[in-house]
């Protein structure tokens, strides 16, 4: 068991993973914390947009109520005029509500997609960079030559089988 090279490769791999785990974890968590804060601020901004849209909706509902009062006053003058004004105001109101709601939803969706993509890219870059740095720091020329020779031998034995 102790003379088996695969055992020692496994042991060295586990030691390598144990040695880099804590620094990489700290680095990733601190970076993720900053990303989380940024995401929270973007979500808060999106929620503020949504609240503004709801306020606008309430204002528009108040405006609709005022328009309906005007329509009742105008009804005494002409039923045809009243129907025309009501249809026009309801159509504009629903279009504005739909546009604001769609805009808010699209912005929230885009922020979530952008944030997820940014986090994925950031994690991948940090992982690659950390692995590259660790390999550069820990591999000497002799170890590199040994790894290349061993890989060639392993490849030859696999190709023969």
Q: Give domain limits for the chain.
A: 45-127
Q: How high is the mean pLDDT of the chain?
A: 88
- Indicate whether 161 pLDDT > 80: no
Pair 122, 111: CB distance under 8 Å: no
Q: Tell me: the pLDDT tens digits for 81-123? A: 666 778 899 999 999 999 999 999 999 999 999 999 999 999 9
Report whether pLDDT(41) > 80: yes
Best mean pLDDT range from 13-27, 39-53, 128-142, 146-160: 39-53
**Within 13 A of 48's CA, how many CA atoms are on the CB side?**
6
* HSE, side-chain direction, 13 A CA sphere, residue 117: 6
Of 95, 88, 106, the residue nearest 57 (C-alpha): 95
pLDDT tier at 46, thresholds 50, 70, 90: very high
**pLDDT grade, residue 20 (50/70/90)?**
confident
CA distances from 121 to 78, 135, 147 (A): 65, 21, 30
Mean pLDDT for the stretch of residues 15-40: 87
For residues 65, 69, 70, 75, the Cα torsion angle rounded to the nearest 10 degrees is 130
Spatial distance between the Cα atoms of 74 and 88, rounded to a whole number of angstroms = 15
Residue from 49, 89, 52, 96 nearest 70 by CA: 89
Distance CA 59, CA 75 (A): 24
* Calculated CA dihedral for residues 11, 16, 22, 26, nearest 10 degrees: -150
For the chain, what's the residue count?
Answer: 161
Choice between 47 and 81, residue whose per-residue pLDDT is larger = 47
Question: What is the reported pTM?
Answer: 0.33
Higher pLDDT, 143 or 38: 38
Q: Which of 82-86, 111-115, 127-131, 144-148 has the lowest mean pLDDT?
A: 82-86
């Amino acid at each position: 068991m102790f003379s088996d090279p695969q055992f020692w490769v496994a042991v060295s791999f586990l030691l390598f993973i144990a040695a880099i785990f804590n620094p990489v974890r700290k680095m990733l968590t601190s970076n993720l914390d900053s990303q989380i804060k940024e995401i929270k601020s973007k979500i808060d901004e999106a929620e503020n947009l949504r609240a503004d849209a709801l306020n606008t909706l309430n204002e528009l509902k108040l405006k609709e109520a005022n328009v309906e009062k005007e329509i009742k006053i105008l009804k005494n003058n002409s039923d045809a005029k009243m129907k025309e004004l009501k249809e026009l105001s309801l159509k504009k109101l629903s279009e504005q509500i739909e546009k604001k709601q769609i805009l808010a939803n699209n912005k929230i969706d885009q922020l979530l997609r952008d944030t997820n993509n940014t986090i994925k890219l950031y994690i991948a870059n940090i992982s690659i960079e950390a692995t590259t740095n660790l390999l550069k720091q820990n591999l000497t020329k002799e170890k590199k030559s040994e790894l290349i020779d061993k890989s060639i031998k392993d490849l030859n034995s696999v190709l023969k089988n």
